[in-house]
Structure 1
């Protein structure tokens, strides 16, 4: 995924070189700068009356009670979930900053961490996508909430009857809340639940990350599929590190290309999330997005120089 480059003296740089300490420090520094820029990009005030979030709020306020209050409540929950995803994404950048400088250098963990960050940013996009209607947003939230309850039910069985009983109460609460919102269950021909419908807008039970990844910048080809190969330990991906280790004392050897890819994914994922925040809430992010990509470009130039030095 990392772009190839060529130094002034004609030496090609593909980043298929070991992770040197100077390179690792440069990567950690740009990740820290990108994280801090993203975290501090938000203005104090939200947008004007044309912002999609105000449109959604007005539509929910126009409903009769008790639907009005139920939809207001779920709208608030959507904001909380988006903020949770954002905070979790930034936490994974912070972890990646430490990961890239560890000794011996990391192998596949930079891709695993960047994949988790990307999933959080795409989850945020799925919830507050400014291009969908408020009803569609509620249907998506209903599916996610119901799916999470099912996961909780499965986990509860490992902890005994007390936990099972508690989750049963939670499920009753969720089902009541979904009915109050006006979320109608959708089933297939076998009667199996497949999603929800709100005011004619339909959604499945869960996010399709591969589909949602289309929201990422187009210069990142299939980022989710590539990173999943590392995160799931698939041999087609991980065996490369074993082959690179054949002439060393290590079982696996990482290379600068994985870190370059991780930094590119981090930048693209945070850019996607920031644009989603901006467009849904009508925010003025000023020069933050340009600055974000500027930091990535500067790191790429520095990485080329460091990669040439490592290749010599």
Structure 2
């Protein structure tokens, strides 16, 4: 059992009751409302103002000589494309969760597994657009993720017996990063461990558990162990559903849905704050409204969860 699969201390569980129809419908509608508000916030970019990290990084790249200038511009463009794709993927899973909540029979652990997918996509978004890091570190992070994905593609190509295609991709990535003046760091056995750009280093990948612990809003406790327990089917987690049922049947409870909602809202909030900071946008009012919406959600859904009790 890995660290991210260990259960935490049990807290007060106001929603420790089976899912009823009224609660399911209200929870799904609430999640939909939050998602739609978050989507509008992320679409509020026109021309990023001067002084934003994005504008500063573009200006910094433009001062470099070619071919480094154009190569780094292309790497930044790919980085932004991956970030936007990750955000879209997160929203796709949120929509799936909206439907999963109201299905029959009621979901047991799938809401937490879907919420984990939302969180992981938002963590990629956060990793690439975190406003406080330097432009050099951002490029190093993008290079590391690109190389890591290339390794995954190479492994898949071996399974599909398309190794020549994978080798070509590896050569292309190596050449492209070389044109960006990105330097690979290697272990004693020659394996690439990460990349350095202008003195800033980033590994090939990041620790998801640590990333979630350090970047999510402080109003949510560290959720990754809970999500991993559901996704990995750990007995300490899955046995909970059997305790609520009869004759060993698994029963979904409102607490699971609420945990999924809280994780999704926290992940989207994290992404919106990245978006706000990286492009220097004024989203304070919208974020405050989302925060009020989230707090009101908890109080309202308590009543729906216990309506049949």
TM range (shorter): over 0.9
Instruction: For residue 183 of structure 1, report the CA deviation from its aligned partner.
Output: 1.3
Q: Which residue of 1 aligns with 2:160?
A: 159
| Secondary structure in structure 2 of the residue aligned to 1:194 | strand
Instruction: For residue 256 of structure 1, report the CA deviation from its aligned partner.
Output: 0.5
Q: Which residue of 1 aligns with 2:174?
A: 175
| Secondary structure in structure 1 of the residue aligned to 2:184 | strand
Query: Cα deviation per residue 1:285-309 (whole Å; 9 max; x = unaligned)?
Result: 2522122222222221111112332
Q: Which residue of 2 aligns with 1:96?
A: 97
| Secondary structure in structure 1 of the residue aligned to 2:251 | coil
1:246-257 matches, cutoff 5 A: 247-248=246-247, 251-257=249-255
- 1:127 has 2:125 as partner: no
Q: Which residue of 1 aligns with 2:275?
A: 277
Instruction: For residue 3 of structure 1, report the CA deviation from its aligned partner.
Output: 7.6
- 1:87 has 2:88 as partner: yes
Please give the root-mean-square deviation of Cα atoms over the aligned residues, in Å. 1.7
Q: Which residue of 2 aligns with 1:9?
A: none
Q: Which residue of 2 aligns with 1:302?
A: 300
For structure 2, the 5+ residue unaligned runs are 1-7
Query: Cα deviation per residue 1:126-162 (whole Å; 9 max; x = unaligned)?
Result: 00111111110111111111110110111111212xx
Could you tell me which of 256, 262, 286 is aligned with 1:288?
Answer: 286
Paired with 2:224 and 2:180, the residues of 1 have a C-alpha distance of: 33
Instruction: For residue 192 of structure 1, report the CA deviation from its aligned partner.
Output: 2.5
Q: Which residue of 1 aligns with 2:183?
A: 184
Distance 1:222 1:36, change over 3 A: same
Q: Which residue of 1 aligns with 2:3?
A: none
1:219-258 matches, cutoff 5 A: 219-245=219-245, 247-248=246-247, 251-258=249-256
Paired with 1:242 and 1:147, the residues of 2 have a C-alpha distance of: 39
Paired with 2:165 and 2:188, the residues of 1 have a C-alpha distance of: 32
Q: Which residue of 2 aligns with 1:208?
A: 207
| Secondary structure in structure 1 of the residue aligned to 2:195 | strand
Distance 1:61 1:3, change over 3 A: farther
Instruction: For residue 226 of structure 1, report the CA deviation from its aligned partner.
Output: 1.6
Paired with 2:135 and 2:59, the residues of 1 have a C-alpha distance of: 10
